[in-house]
Amino acid sequence: MNVGVVLAASIAGYGLYKVYIYPFFLNPLRKLPGPKSAWWSPMGFLSYIMASEPMEPQLAWMKQYGPIFAFRSLFNEYRCFVLSSTGIRYVLSSHASDFIKPKTTAKFLSDILGQGLVVVEGDIHKRQRAIMNPVFKVKQINALIPTFVQAANELKNVWTDHMNSLPSGTAFIIDTNAEMSKPTLDVIGRAGFGYEFDACSPSSANSENVKLFTAFNTALESLTMSRFLLRHFANFLRWVIPSEIKARVAYEESLKVIRSSCAEILASRRREVELELADPDAVGSKAVDLMTALVKSNLAETQSKNRLTDEEVMSQIMTFLFAGHETTSVALTWTIYYLTRHPLIQQKLRQELVEQMPDSSDAPSEEYITSQHTFLDAIAKESLRLQPPVPITLRTALKDVTIDGHFFPKGTTISLSPYVVHRMKEYWGDDAEEFKPQRWMGKEEGAVAEMGSFIPFIIGPRSCIGSRFAMLELKSMLAVYFRTFEFVETEEGKNVKRKLAITAKPSPALYVEVRRAE
């Protein structure tokens, strides 16, 4: 028999087994509840999901099938969701060491973030986390509140100057996410590694600032879900399709610029710290950014196992830059969205802010920003509940596991969705999908998070190390903006949807009207 015929028959037979026989007759995941796609379609529900808003099909399936379900995707591979609080605690907390990030996700993230906290696993993650924890201690993060307020004030002043140039009483319209990305980038530059992006004041930026700022935005624009799927299923097309070739080259060039700039910043911080350690009186006092604190801790440590390598420090910088900036700017954007849709809630917030900051030029106090018993805090949490910046996270089982009585074989990738969990009536009541900050008044965040039902920053040993940083930055900026301005919904803003990349952003852009608060 012809070898080619045998080879073709073997490939066809394997494909038939992989796409039809195993999924429909042998895979133990077929026993999980969930929607059933047509047997003849190798696409499963992929097309339907790609055409829908992120997590909306999964939200509907959770309501129909319960907190644990599975559906078939491309080539009839099963996608499993675990959304019960007990299941979430099992995967993320009590048995976290039995799960890792899927390899494709880890590879995608490592290209951007390097081998930092978000990417690494096992003992390497434990070591990095232990070294990084002191840098993110409460006192250190609280000390950054003036930095958060300063960046917010710089954008506030730009808006005020623009408003003063308009006829009296005239409002203006902003692209919310584009505007919120400016102060959050300045914050991560200053607080993260002592760098001035001048994003809020581009006229004062030098050529290096502009170069790095442009590279950063180019890299962010490349991080779309369609490109992630392309890399996952047909990576070779990135070298074939002209538009993808152009995007890939621009993305790779932008990362080179960012890494080069970060390497220079790291070298500069190391020189400063070495000088300070050699002669403390030779260096004037200055605010300590997170990277400087990390470098200082690194140089002071005598045992190599308790130090980060240069490459690991670089990876943490990249993580600060991308994860620290993007998530907070998106959280600010969605909070403004909800407050424009609920003007009475916005008004109540402003009343609290006026009490705390009688003059619009006053800075919010550390006590106010850190308190968990304010309306500002309730609004921030409610926004993160309904629109967690990262609406889904994935874990792959390293061994056979049983969760809530359901069996998942080794190698199963399990999806956990904060977006869906935060809308489950069994945890949040019949008004789970409504924006109601008052639900938080009198509640302790820790008690809710411990249940596994409030997970915007995940829980367990891989929870976001920068969660306090993000929360205080979010509240500081909301305090500054809503004390001075009123934000009003526009016609364009009524029709925004969500688009998923690394984070879930409004699409099309969220335009809101900005007025001077009465």
Residues annotated in the binding site, as ranges?
464
Please say whether the beta carbons of 82 and 414 come within 8 A: yes
- Cα distances from 125 to residues 121, 199, 390, 411, in angstroms, run 5, 32, 20, 20
Which among 151, 207, 160 has a CA at the least distance from the CA of 182? 151
Residue positions in the annotated binding site for heme? 464
Q: Look up residue 167 and give its DSSP letter.
A: P
Q: How many CB atoms lie within 10 A of CB 442?
A: 8
State phi, psi for 343 to the nearest 5 degrees: -60, -30
* Token pair 């130090």 in the structure block, residue: 307
Contacts of 97 (CB under 8 A, 6+ apart): 122
Cα 181 from Cα 138, distance rounded (Å): 25
What sign has the CA pseudo-torsion 239, 242, 247, 253? positive
The residue among 77, 51, 75, 72 whose CA lies nearest residue 61 is: 72
Beta strands 393-397 and 99-100, pairing class = antiparallel
CA trace torsion 378, 455, 506, 186 (10° rounding): 80
Cα–Cα distance measured from residue 367 to residue 145, given in angstroms and rounded to the nearest whole number:
10
Q: How far is Cα 403 from Cα 447, in angstroms, rounded to an integer?
A: 23
Edge to edge, the sheet with strand 413-416 lists 68-72, 78-82, 413-416, 393-397, 99-100
- Rounded to whole angstroms, how far apart are CA atoms 211 and 402? 51
- CB-CB contact of 512 with 340 (8 Å): yes
Q: Select from 47, 87, 49 the least CA-distant residue to 416.
A: 87
